[in-house]
Amino acid sequence: MKSTTKEMTSGSPMKLILGFSVPLLFGFLFQQFYNLVDTMIVGRLLGKYALAGVGSTGSINFLILGFCMGVCSGYSIPISQMFGAGDYNRMRRFVTHSLILTGGFAAAVTVLSTVFCRQILTITKTPEEVMDYAYTYILIIFLGTPVICLYNLLSSILRALGDSKHPVQFLVISSFVNIGLDFFFILVLKMGVAGAALATVISQVVSAVMCLVYIVRKVDLLKLSREDWRIDPFFFRILNGMGIPMGLQYSITAIGSVILQTAINGQGADAVAAVAAAVRVSGFFCCPFDAMGSTMATYGGQNVGAKKLERLGTGLRDCTLLGVIYSLAAFVILYFFGRSIVGLFVSGAETAVLDQARLFLIVNSAFYIPLALVNIVRFLIQGMGFSMFAVLAGVCEMVARSAAALLLVPRNGFMGIAMASPLAWILADLFLIPAFLHVRKILLARFNSAGESPASSDGGLLRTILSGG
């Protein structure tokens, strides 16, 4: 293998976006594929209560691990900006400081999440009949937090340098490892939901190790010297200014999901199982939106670093067009085949679960265009260096999901559950689209007043780019 770093600061935005996002898409699809296998095995072989137990942890998982993954993604933003600016010395300093910070918060999150795991499940009103399944599953996942953080940081660093292919290759390999371990732990060793969780953690170890070995051996730009490891509070401040807001964005969004999950839990095991199965299917169909978002973060970061702000609007237009086309196709597929797809995870005798899951998929997929915009615009703003605006978008999503949980679900039952995410996406878009126009205007004014070259030695451009984040 050879390093495949890529600049996204010149050439057709549409071609660059497709070239970067397609490998990412395959990676996300494989990640969802092994999630689907987990769900299929648990639902088919262990029953709906085990499925509901695993499914009830989804929002908690998103709350805790989403924060970690958001922080890691945020740390990659100044790396991509320095790569776009051609300032490789500062880029490497950001890499070393991000590794130090990630190690620290991963350890803290692991301790806190495992100690308070059962209390969190109790607060979210996890049904008693699924509590043991939920606790066993999420505790093992939380214990694997350090390796999950390591993989997400290393893969984010590679993507920041324009390499979306190798993280995908490592993820594909780890996906097959995960699937094989699923069958071994659950079918052979009879470990139940613990086997599914352990398989996930081990597969993350495999992907993290492969990422690390590849970077050390193949990425010359990331050959780190002793000087690169010299501690400088300035780099910590910039990284936390990017990473913590992005982590908070995920967690704030997840708070709304936790409140919604509490309302779902109150609707009984059938509703919990239906949402668990439908979310797995929806996650698979939403992979293109995740790929578009990650692509736009790198695209935005590199072009801001290169001071090519005129390319931001063109990239946004081209990526949005891709999102609209895909959203329409996904809705058609889920409308006609959604119930059959859910049937892969739930016994045909569970008609109530199947019907509710189909309703959830139809309602959500009808609003995939707003979801596409949320991912594309939010990640583009983050790549531009304005993470706090993404946090505010997360607040919009939290408010919408919380309102649905408190107002719609008691009155409209499962339809209120199905409408929660679409309302969150629409409210976030109403904030994000004007926010993008605003931050682009801010950067234009800053660059016009700075009047310096991208590689200026005094770090002025770096401060100009990041001062508003």
Asked if residue 3 is part of any domain, the answer here is no
Neighbours of 449 (CB within 10 A): 9
Which residues contact residue 373 at a Cβ distance below 8 angstroms, ignoring those fewer than 6 apart? 320, 323, 425, 429, 432, 433
Q: Is residue 69 part of a domain?
A: yes
Domain assignment present for 41: yes
State which residues form the domain around 125: 13-466
- Do the Cβ atoms of 464 and 447 come closer than 8 Å? yes
How many domains does the structure of the chain reveal? Answer: 1
Which residues, given as ranges, of the chain have pLDDT below 70?
A: 1-5, 34-36, 38-39, 450-469
The predicted model scores a pTM of 0.74
What pLDDT is stored for residue 451 in this prediction? 53
Domain membership of residue 2 (yes or no) is no
User: Could you report the per-residue pLDDT of 225-263, keeping only the tens digit for each?
Assistant: 999 999 999 999 999 988 888 888 777 877 887 788 888
435 in a domain, yes or no? Answer: yes
State the pLDDT at residue 47. 75
- Return the pLDDT at 149: 93
- Spatial neighbors of 59 by CB under 8 A, at least 6 apart, are 124, 254, 257, 258, 260, 261
pLDDT per position as a tens digit, 86-110: 899 999 999 999 999 999 989 999 9
Does residue 4 belong to any structural domain of this protein?
no
Output the CA angle 426-430-436, nearest 5 degrees. 125
Confidence (pLDDT) at 434: 95
Q: Tell me whether residue 171 is in a domain.
A: yes
pLDDT of 210: 95
Helices (H), 163-286: 165-182, 193-218, 233-265, 269-285
Are 232 and 93 in contact by the 8 Å Cβ rule? The answer is yes
Structure tokens at 164: 């979306």
| Tens digit of each residue's pLDDT (9 = 90 or more) over 70-80 | 899 889 989 98
Judging by beta carbons within 10 Å of its beta carbon (0-12, 13-18, 19+), is residue 223 exposed, middle or buried?
exposed
Whether residue 44 is contained in a domain is answered as yes
Residue 460 neighbours by CB distance under 10 Å:
13
Instruction: Identify the pLDDT of residue 5.
Output: 65
What are the tens digits of pLDDT across the range 378-398?
999 988 888 788 788 889 999
CA distance 71 to 76: 9
